[in-house]
Amino acid sequence: MTEPVTTGTEVPHGGTANKVFPPLDPSTVSPQLVWLAITFVVLYFLLKKIAIPRIGGVIEERSNRIQRDIDAAERLKDEVDAAMKAYEKSLGDARANATTIARQTREKLASEVDRERANVEGAINSKIADAEARIAETKRKALSSVGEIASEIAGPVVKQLTGKDVGVDEIKRALNAGKGE
């Protein structure tokens, strides 16, 4: 007949089932402890001589880089502070300069306006004085002419009203007599 097919998962017949798992076997504990100690010591020396110095070097390099970055940042901050102080000083100086220029310009313009005003007032006063002199001269001439004009007009008016011819001398005496009253 044919034999049954086995998949290899069953316990072989005839073997002892009392076997102990080797790491837990009390007869192999001493050699396991020796190998554990040897492995531990070798691993300890490898870490101490190779891994820890490399890790320490990396940590120290990072620490140095961080310190350099902090120092550079502080230096840049100081430069920025100095630049800000210089900017604020320049801005203050520019404002003071602008104020001074504005004040000087205002004073200059005010003095030019005052000077021009004085010139214009002088010219106006001169023209007013000239006009008053011309008016006075015209008034004097007009007043001196009034007597002559009145005597010339009075003769024909008297002749028309009274029908008599009156002489120029009589009219002047009559006019002068009217002034004395």
Task: State how far the Cα of 93 lies from the Cα of 23, in Å rounded to an integer.
Answer: 88
Asked, for residue 4, whether it belongs to a domain, the answer is no
Which of 70-79, 118-127, 165-174 is least confident? 165-174
Amino acid at 48: K
- pLDDT for 178 equals 65
Percent of the chain with pLDDT over 70: 88
- pLDDT for 2 equals 63
Reported pTM = 0.40
Helix axes 168-180, 52-162, angle to 10 degrees: 120
Asked, for residue 140, whether it belongs to a domain, the answer is yes
Asked, for residue 75, whether it belongs to a domain, the answer is yes
- pLDDT for 140 equals 85
Name the domain count of the chain: 1
- pLDDT for 149 equals 76
Asked, for residue 150, whether it belongs to a domain, the answer is yes
- pLDDT for 12 equals 56
Asked, for residue 114, whether it belongs to a domain, the answer is yes
Task: State how far the Cα of 24 lies from the Cα of 94, in Å rounded to an integer.
Answer: 91
Asked, for residue 176, whether it belongs to a domain, the answer is no
Q: Name, in order, each residue with C-beta under 8 angstroms of 164's C-beta and a sequence gap of 6 or more.
A: 158
Asked, for residue 179, whether it belongs to a domain, the answer is no
Task: State how far the Cα of 102 lies from the Cα of 68, in Å rounded to an integer.
Answer: 50
- pLDDT for 69 equals 96
- pLDDT for 180 equals 58
Position with higher pLDDT, 54 vs 164: 54
Does residue 60 have a pLDDT over 90? yes
How many other C-beta atoms are found inside a 10 Å radius of the C-beta of residue 151? 19
Does residue 107 have a pLDDT over 70? yes
Compute φ and ψ for 49, nearest 5 degrees.
-90, -30
Does residue 16 have a pLDDT over 60? no
Asked, for residue 8, whether it belongs to a domain, the answer is no
CA angle in degrees (0–180, nearest 5) for 13-17-19: 130
* Residue-number span of the structural domain to which 55 is assigned: 29-161
